[in-house]
Structure 1
Amino acid sequence: MDINDNIESPLKIKLSFDKLLQQYDVLADSDNDFVAEKAKRILEVAKQYPELRDGFSKIDLVKEREEEIAFLLQDTFSPLLTHNEIKTATVPFHDLIFNASARFKKIIKTAGDDFELHIKNMPDDDEYIVVCAIILGFCYGFNLNFKRPFYYEIPDENGIIRYYKILYNADFCEIIPNENAPVITQDDYDELLDNFENIDLWKAKFPPNSYTFKGFVISNIFDVTDDQSISNIKSSLISKDKRKQNSFVEGFQDIFSSLFGIKDLKVGFSIYNREDDVFERIYGSGMHSYLLGETTTKECANALCTWSYDKLLKEFKHFSVSDVDKMFELSQGKAPHISSLHQQGVKSAIFAPIANDKGLMGIIEIVSNKKQVLNSVNANKLGDVLPYIVSAAERAIEEEANLIEAIIQKECTSIHPSVHWRFAKEAKNFIKAELIGEQAIFKKIAFENIYPLYGQMDIKGSSEARNTATKQDLALQLSAAKTIFEMAMQVEFLPIYDQFVFQIDEYLRGLNEQFQVDSEQQISDFFKNDIDVALKHLYVIDGLKAELDIYFDTLDDKLNMLYNNRKQYDNTVAMINKNMAAMLDKKQQDAQRMYPHYFERFKTDGVEHNMYIGESITKADSFNPIYLYNLRLWQLQVMCEMENSFYQKQHKFPVALDVASMILVFNQPLTISFRMDEKQFDVDGTYNARYEIVKKRVDKAYIKGTTERVTQKGKISIVYSQKQDEIEYLRYIKFLQAKNYLDTDVEIVELQDLQAVTGLKAIRVSVLYHKSEEDKSFYTYEDLMKEIKA
């Protein structure tokens, strides 16, 4: 078998000791008789076996000349140092080792029979190019800095991975160009510098077996487990993606096992919440806290004894427990952290604070199931890694704070994607100003010449519906209380009970005859201040206990009032808003794909929405009025679809409510700006403010000369002021009538003047409904109600 078998490389390897023997040629003429005599003996052995100088590549010959090779290498592999030095003789980029120190052999034997030695950090995919880079340096003087540390990872007798760094001595080798080796010029070198990934180019400049490696290399190996463990801990903490993987904790624990030289070491973490003075569990793949055990959070004073509390939280110093069982007995189970460790089967442990100049951030917990293997002596090893853990904790806290802020921004004060670019631009300018020492000001964000669209689906008669629900609840509770007092007078007649009955009758009469704004509050105060106290007194009367239990069971726990009908109303409004908002959001995704625009919606007693479209929002020179017309048609069509969806779901709501839909048309472009104090967009300028006034008041407007509201259930009202708007929307209505979205009963009405706003008109048209999504028939509102009730 040949060393070069199954290897594609520009180097043809020949194991040779010629460069070594050349040094002995010189030493043979030394004035030192002892040195000269030794050199002559080595040369005499080499003379008997010419292949040792000429070179060979047969692996079998290595075994045959094992004794002679060892004799030649006796000065480089001193028998006096063989049990201390970790050293091998080999050829480059090959697993062949033909001489080794006693310590290296012992390390390999301890690793086990199934262990295979491989160099870590050796780039297998780039090995060919690495060899080419070495040739460039050896033969042409082009020194590419391709040096990188190479390692062995070898388990010890306990199965703990230890790290060994390899340093090569290349004094006894040479690289010789063969006949098929192209001469490398400066131009070739320049071309190769820019084409590391082009393996075909490198093979053209350095064909396979175009150079001969003659000689051997000596590997000087050093145990760098501590340094590499620290480096691995640092790498693990730096890598954000690794920390999210399931294998992170397991790998992290293996690294600590290598650092401490202890098998099966476990690592736990707990976060310190300064605001609440509690320890909290870290949520993540495999994360555990041995301080907290099975609990998720614990007050610091209840998690530690006084001494350990002061050590960690005040002095910021680590401490160890070398024998948990012994300490558990001594403390009689009264030390919380010892009890927690004992319950989890931990035998020895180290607790160390993760702290910076701002205070404690958390605790790192290193534990073992063997006593005394963790102690106050090896606890000092943490001093080398804690700075990296502290840095990682600081970064994690900052990332969490940023994430919390991002969630708040998204959920509470989100910026619509269509205008996000403008905010990002100002944020960059803000940061830039801070960095160069200028006064950082977040400039006003405004968009000019944009067209507004507004629509709302309002719950019809919401105030009346809620008042009805309120009166029903109050009347039921008053009547129930009255019954109890009438029963109480038969057992224990007190004039105050009679007075309560009189007062209740007064309130009941007021509910039926004249329900006012403050009626609900007056009656609530009456129950809170008078009735509740009296009813609790009556609870001592045996005959009233059952009636009182029924009464109190009907009350809302938080409000202490009967809240059934009002709760049904509130739930209905919430369900309507949720369903309609979800549908509008889903439809909006399609509209954004047609042409980007600003969109926002609000849940009130119904759902309303604003849209703004124009050149200044999209940032690109692409806006055309056709996109505005398209969005107006889309809005009208979606409002029809939302009406249909509402009435198809109406039977599922606790209270039967109706809705009325309206669209406001404003045909002049305006300017909107972001109001930092309110975290929302608003119109800019006195003229544009007219639009906001109309939005707030128009749904309550009456048709001129009547007491009829412009918005009406079963119809869509389109409010406008310009003739061209009327013409435009009549076209859309005609199109949607052809699509069976709208009925044929189109009417145009004038609206009574609003404050500071005159000349408004409205187109009203009935929506056509389906009983369900599968239903192909079309119904007016009246027909639909008859069908549903039938």
Structure 2
Amino acid sequence: MSLNSQFTSPMELLISFDTLFQQYEQLAQHPNPLISEKARSILHLGEQFPELRHGFADVTILKNREKEIAEILQDLFSSLLTHNEIKAASVPFHDTIFNLSSRFHDIISKSGSQFQLEIKNMAENERYIMACTIILNDCYNYNLNLKRPFHYEIPDKNGIMRYYKILYNANFTEIIKTDKAPNITQEDVDELLDNYDNIMLWKQKFPENSYIFKGFVISNIFDVTDDFAISEIKSNLIAEGKRQDKNFIKDLQSIFQSFLRIPDIRVGFSVFNKDEGIFERVYGEGMHSFLLNDNPMGNCADMLCKSSYKRLLKEKKHISVSNIEKAYKETQGKVPHIKVLNDQGFKSAIFAPIANKDGLMGILELVSHQPKALNSINANKLEDVMPYIVATVERSKSDQENLIEAVIQQECTSIHPSVHWRFKQAAQYFIKENIILKKNVPFGKIAFENVYPLFGQIDVKGSSEARNLATQKDLSDQLKQTKHFIEKANNLIKMPIFEQITFQINAYLKQLETYFKVDSEHVITQFLKNDVTPLLELISKKNLALKLEIDDYFSRINSDLSILYHHRKNYDRTIGLINKNMSTIMDNKQIEAQKMYPHFFERFKTDGVEHNMYIGESITREDSFSLIYLYNLRLWQIQVMCEMENEFYNNQDLYPLSLDVASMILVFNQPLSIRFRMDEKQFDVDGTYNARYEVVKKRVDKAFIKGTTERITAKGKLSIVFSQQDDETEYLKYIHFFQAKNILGSELEVLELEDLQGVTGLKAIRVSILYNNKMKEETSYFTYHDVIDIIGNQNFAS
């Protein structure tokens, strides 16, 4: 098998020991007879086996002449060090090795029968280009730096992967130009400097096998498992807290100067804001962006030409300009990133994408005042450190996101995902102005214009009366129990205090039965705590016969308030369960609603559950809003309200107390503006013009039907409150549709409401709700198109 059959190369490979034989020819004349005699014996091998001197590509010769080759190389492979050194002879960038040291042979033998030795991090095209740069340096006296660490990955006897760094000694090689090799000019080299990835161009300048490599290299190999790929630049990037150090950039530039061997290199960063499609400055001590020229931000499409934009943002590959001045003249200053670099006086530059699996996060910017210093060749050296830069940026980005979230939570509250982007914008500006630039700027106004509101509630009917009744029962039961103990004690020992407390208890019991006032609960509770409890404690100590009964009494009352909490507990548990169950239904249904069209949503637990929704273009930031989405959300709201009612009444046995609920929807057909109130940590309408909506929303569930004392909300019915004739027409269509679907019943009223304070002309549609278990099985939601398909454009307002 030939060495040259494994991969393509601009060099035909020949293993030869000619350069070594030449040195032994000189040693053959040495005055020391031991040295000269040994040299002559090795030269005799060259005469006996001429292929060892002339060169060969047939790897079988390595096996056939293994003994002779070992003898030729004995001065380079010391027998005294063979068990210590990891060493072999080979040809550069090739997996074929020979004359292994004992230690290296032992490592290979323990790696397993299936193991194949292979140089890592060396793609075939890269191998070809590296061979070209060696030719340029050796044959044309250029000094192109493309030295990258190469390594073996070899498993040990336990299957644990070990890493070995390879260093070549190329003292015994020569490269010979053939007739097939074109002459390389300075223009050729300049073209290659900016086209590292263009393998066809390299092959055009350096055709396959147009040069001859003759000789061998010595591979000195070192175990670097413990510190593999660790370097000063990497440790500086991953070290905790380095970015906050005021010397961070200065130190980083010094490291890059050593890494790339360019004395005047400067380092910059820019952040990619995917949501806005812009590059932004990184604010910190000494931080710069040469792409932005220290502007706060810039549109990505405006900062780069189309090809560079595609390469950086889409392909996530670096771009380099080795001669900025030349490129500026050739493009007449029309390429944005070349112009901005030229304006700053830089002569060469590299922009490397900082990207992870989620996409581009930012740009690493390297610039130099030397032309050709930075180019597409040494840009590839960055591949070894980019993972550490990515890790650093990920951590920095995470810290920034946490800081933004902390500001939002502190200044606002828990924010719905649909509007989170706006709070994030404001938080970023707040951080820049107050934390970085040390200004005293308040948190910015958060507002959305031209959004349509939707409001609804499912409310516990008569909740105040139910709680009062529970309170009365608890107080009455407690008063009767304490009266029992005191009367028993009085029968045993007559004391005026017993009679006085009994008289007061009877008075409070009568009050509970006849007239329960606003302050009755507080007055009776204080009486029980301050007057009755101490007396019972005294009786318990003095009367062992009553002690057990009184101790049992104390075990059943609240120890802090000294009150019986049984009926009220059932009430509170019922309200809590209703709120929890209804909120869970609403939250789960919202997941589907957001898929229709993103919108703001919030809900509140009171004696029931209220919800607000706002939908419009300013919330989504997309030029896609249509009234159809509003109509669909209104249909969804009706269907969900009916589902919540069904869930409640079909599962009333789950609640400790029997209560009723009533549902209401408020319709407002004009878009309005909403603003986040920092003091209240919630959204409400912005401006006096829209204040009417908030007034109605807060009072409408207590409104009476005109000319009656009956409230508009009622058990078993959905009340839809509106003020415009168009609203009535629209919602009657929806109602008839849901009647056809057996979700709403046939009882339907259109009612006028009594005027509220500052609000007149309200009307309501009230329609019965059908309760059935089938609604639990309904998983899809109807759309406006479903309504049109079933009932057409018929007007049901009459």
Q: Would the alpha carbon gap of residues 772 and 463 (structure 1) be closer, same or farther in structure 2, given more than 3 Å must change?
A: farther
Mapped to 1, the partners of 2:177 and 2:502 lie a distance apart of: 117
Question: 1:741 aligns to what?
Answer: 743
CA contact (8 A) 1:130 1:146 kept: no
Q: Which amino acid is the alignment partner of residue 652 of structure 1?
A: L
Question: 2:679 aligns to what?
Answer: 677
Q: Would the alpha carbon gap of residues 107 and 493 (structure 1) be closer, same or farther in structure 2, given more than 3 Å must change?
A: farther
Deviation of 1:749 (Å): 2.4
Deviation of 1:426 (Å): 3.1
Note the alpha carbon deviations across 1:304-353, whole angstroms, 9 max, x for none. xxxxxxxxxxxxxxxxxxxxxxxxxxxxxxxxxxxxxxxxxxxxxxxxxx
- Alignment coverage as a number of residue pairs: 620
Equivalence map 1:285-364=2 (5 Å): none
Deviates more, 1:426-435 or 1:498-507: 426-435
Q: Which amino acid is the alignment partner of residue 758 of structure 1?
A: T
CA contact (8 A) 2:479 2:509 kept: yes
Question: 1:451 aligns to what?
Answer: 452
Mapped to 1, the partners of 2:621 and 2:229 lie a distance apart of: 52
Q: Would the alpha carbon gap of residues 190 and 441 (structure 1) be closer, same or farther in structure 2, given more than 3 Å must change?
A: farther
CA contact (8 A) 2:111 2:157 kept: no
Q: Would the alpha carbon gap of residues 4 and 100 (structure 1) be closer, same or farther in structure 2, given more than 3 Å must change?
A: closer
Deviation of 1:218 (Å): 0.8
Question: 1:170 aligns to what?
Answer: 170
TM-score (norm 2): 0.67
Secondary structure of the corresponding residue to residue 744 of structure 1? strand
Note the alpha carbon deviations across 1:375-398, whole angstroms, 9 max, x for none. xxxxxxxxxxxxx9xx99x97998
Note the alpha carbon deviations across 1:753-773, whole angstroms, 9 max, x for none. 222222222222222222564
Of 615, 627, 630, 2:629 maps to: 627
Deviation of 1:133 (Å): 2.6
Question: 1:55 aligns to what?
Answer: 55
Mapped to 2, the partners of 1:645 and 1:159 lie a distance apart of: 60
Equivalence map 1:167-316=2 (5 Å): 167-174=167-174, 196=197, 213-222=213-222, 224=224, 227-228=227-228
CA contact (8 A) 1:164 1:223 kept: yes
Secondary structure of the corresponding residue to residue 744 of structure 2? coil
Question: 1:488 aligns to what?
Answer: 489
Mapped to 2, the partners of 1:401 and 1:443 lie a distance apart of: 18
Deviation of 1:639 (Å): 2.0
Deviates more, 1:136-145 or 1:213-222: 136-145
Equivalence map 1:349-748=2 (5 Å): 402=402, 409=409, 413-431=413-431, 433=433, 440-540=441-541, 541-556=543-558, 560-748=562-750
Secondary structure of the corresponding residue to residue 99 of structure 2? strand
Equivalence map 1:29-48=2 (5 Å): 39-48=39-48
Which runs of no fewer than 5 residues in structure 2 stay unpaired? 241-387, 779-798
Mapped to 2, the partners of 1:420 and 1:75 lie a distance apart of: 72
Q: Would the alpha carbon gap of residues 405 and 587 (structure 1) be closer, same or farther in structure 2, given more than 3 Å must change?
A: same
Q: Would the alpha carbon gap of residues 487 and 397 (structure 1) be closer, same or farther in structure 2, given more than 3 Å must change?
A: farther
Note the alpha carbon deviations across 1:240-261, whole angstroms, 9 max, x for none. 9xxxxxxxxxxxxxxxxxxxxx
Deviates more, 1:634-643 or 1:423-432: 423-432
Mapped to 1, the partners of 2:404 and 2:431 lie a distance apart of: 21
Deviation of 1:163 (Å): 5.8
Secondary structure of the corresponding residue to residue 677 of structure 1? coil
Q: Would the alpha carbon gap of residues 6 and 38 (structure 1) be closer, same or farther in structure 2, given more than 3 Å must change?
A: closer
The yes-or-no answer on 1:134 pairing with 2:120 is no
CA contact (8 A) 2:93 2:127 kept: no
Question: 1:87 aligns to what?
Answer: 87
Deviation of 1:53 (Å): 0.8
Question: 1:365 aligns to what?
Answer: none
Q: Which amino acid is the alignment partner of residue 134 of structure 2?
A: G
CA contact (8 A) 2:94 2:119 kept: no
Deviation of 1:680 (Å): 1.4
Q: Which amino acid is the alignment partner of residue 419 of structure 1?
A: V
Secondary structure of the corresponding residue to residue 503 of structure 1? helix
Secondary structure of the corresponding residue to residue 581 of structure 2? helix
Deviates more, 1:655-664 or 1:758-767: 758-767
Q: Would the alpha carbon gap of residues 626 and 153 (structure 1) be closer, same or farther in structure 2, given more than 3 Å must change?
A: closer
Deviation of 1:699 (Å): 0.9
Question: 2:263 aligns to what?
Answer: none
Note the alpha carbon deviations across 1:356-408, whole angstroms, 9 max, x for none. xxxxxxxxxxxxxxxxxxxxxxxxxxxxxxxx9xx99x979985993995699
Mapped to 2, the partners of 1:456 and 1:78 lie a distance apart of: 90
Q: Would the alpha carbon gap of residues 612 and 535 (structure 1) be closer, same or farther in structure 2, given more than 3 Å must change?
A: same
Question: 2:120 aligns to what?
Answer: 122
CA contact (8 A) 1:568 1:655 kept: yes
Q: Would the alpha carbon gap of residues 410 and 131 (structure 1) be closer, same or farther in structure 2, given more than 3 Å must change?
A: farther
Q: Would the alpha carbon gap of residues 450 and 113 (structure 1) be closer, same or farther in structure 2, given more than 3 Å must change?
A: closer
CA contact (8 A) 1:535 1:548 kept: yes
Note the alpha carbon deviations across 1:471-499, whole angstroms, 9 max, x for none. 11222222222222233334444433333
CA contact (8 A) 1:153 1:161 kept: yes
Q: Which amino acid is the alignment partner of residue 552 of structure 2?
A: I
Note the alpha carbon deviations across 1:11-64, whole angstroms, 9 max, x for none. 765432123223444666789999777655532332222121123355554355
CA RMSD of aligned residues (A): 4.6
Mapped to 2, the partners of 1:644 and 1:707 lie a distance apart of: 27
Question: 2:325 aligns to what?
Answer: none
Q: Would the alpha carbon gap of residues 114 and 562 (structure 1) be closer, same or farther in structure 2, given more than 3 Å must change?
A: same
Secondary structure of the corresponding residue to residue 731 of structure 1? helix
Mapped to 1, the partners of 2:422 and 2:540 lie a distance apart of: 66
Q: Which amino acid is the alignment partner of residue 608 of structure 2?
A: G
Q: Would the alpha carbon gap of residues 454 and 216 (structure 1) be closer, same or farther in structure 2, given more than 3 Å must change?
A: same
Deviation of 1:154 (Å): 7.2
Q: Which amino acid is the alignment partner of residue 55 of structure 1?
A: G
Mapped to 1, the partners of 2:472 and 2:404 lie a distance apart of: 43
Q: Would the alpha carbon gap of residues 397 and 204 (structure 1) be closer, same or farther in structure 2, given more than 3 Å must change?
A: closer
Deviation of 1:436 (Å): 6.4
Q: Would the alpha carbon gap of residues 766 and 159 (structure 1) be closer, same or farther in structure 2, given more than 3 Å must change?
A: closer
CA contact (8 A) 1:9 1:208 kept: yes
Question: 2:336 aligns to what?
Answer: none
Q: Which amino acid is the alignment partner of residue 173 of structure 1?
A: T
CA contact (8 A) 2:744 2:769 kept: yes
Secondary structure of the corresponding residue to residue 43 of structure 2? helix
Secondary structure of the corresponding residue to residue 455 of structure 1? strand
Q: Which amino acid is the alignment partner of residue 521 of structure 2?
A: E
Mapped to 2, the partners of 1:200 and 1:769 lie a distance apart of: 75
Secondary structure of the corresponding residue to residue 44 of structure 1? helix
Mapped to 2, the partners of 1:192 and 1:709 lie a distance apart of: 83
Question: 1:770 aligns to what?
Answer: 772
Deviation of 1:199 (Å): 8.4
CA contact (8 A) 1:8 1:128 kept: no
Q: Would the alpha carbon gap of residues 74 and 682 (structure 1) be closer, same or farther in structure 2, given more than 3 Å must change?
A: same
Question: 1:270 aligns to what?
Answer: none
CA contact (8 A) 2:165 2:224 kept: yes
Equivalence map 1:150-165=2 (5 Å): 150-151=150-151, 164-165=164-165
Deviation of 1:122 (Å): 0.9
Q: Which amino acid is the alignment partner of residue 214 of structure 1?
A: K
TM-score (norm 1): 0.67
